[in-house]
Amino acid sequence: MKIFFIILSLFSLGNLYAQTQPAKPTPFAVSTHPLKYEGRQMIVGQAMGGLEKEYRLLDDGGIFRRMNTAKEFEVLGEQTPKNIEMAFKSLQEIKFDTMNFQHPGRTSYFIIYKKGKKEHKVMWGDGKHPAPESAVRVYKAFMGMIPKEMRL
């Protein structure tokens, strides 16, 4: 429960910051395009039919969004080093790298941890297979930092 409140606090602070920052058409916080970025990335999203929405937090502070497999990302804001570490630490605390859960449904949700070319994905949505509660909490906390008017 303590971890949940820490995660919620982290993303609430991010939400306050992101609400004051307008979406920008090109990255300002990263040195390379998110698809070529070699550092850590936390990616969360939702898929419905052929439509996929994703949001990325890079360990250099950039927060991005994109629709489907578009190569262009929009910048939503930038996070502080402390908040970035807390976000990535939340994945460690739930032992995300050991979760093996791939049960998509008509509407699916996912979290991906990526570093360089290596990535680990957890996906849920099939009602017959309840999602790991810890993954759902991290997903909701992450989405809580994205203002509703900036969501796809």
According to DSSP, residue 32 is labeled: S
Confidence of residue 24 (pLDDT cuts 50, 70, 90): very low
- Region 19-47: mean pLDDT is 71
Report the alpha-carbon distance of residue 15 to residue 129 in Å, rounded. 31
pLDDT (tens digit, 9 = 90+) per residue, 62-88? 999 999 877 788 888 888 888 888 889
pLDDT band at 147; cut points 50, 70, 90: confident
Looking at residue 45, what DSSP letter applies?
E
Q: What is the mean pLDDT of the chain?
A: 83
- Give the phi and the psi of residue 63 in degrees, each rounded to 5: -120, 125
CA distance 58 to 88: 10
Average pLDDT (83-100) is: 93
pTM of the prediction?
Answer: 0.77
DSSP H helix total and E strand total for the chain:
3, 7
User: Is the pLDDT higher at 40 or at 144?
Assistant: 40
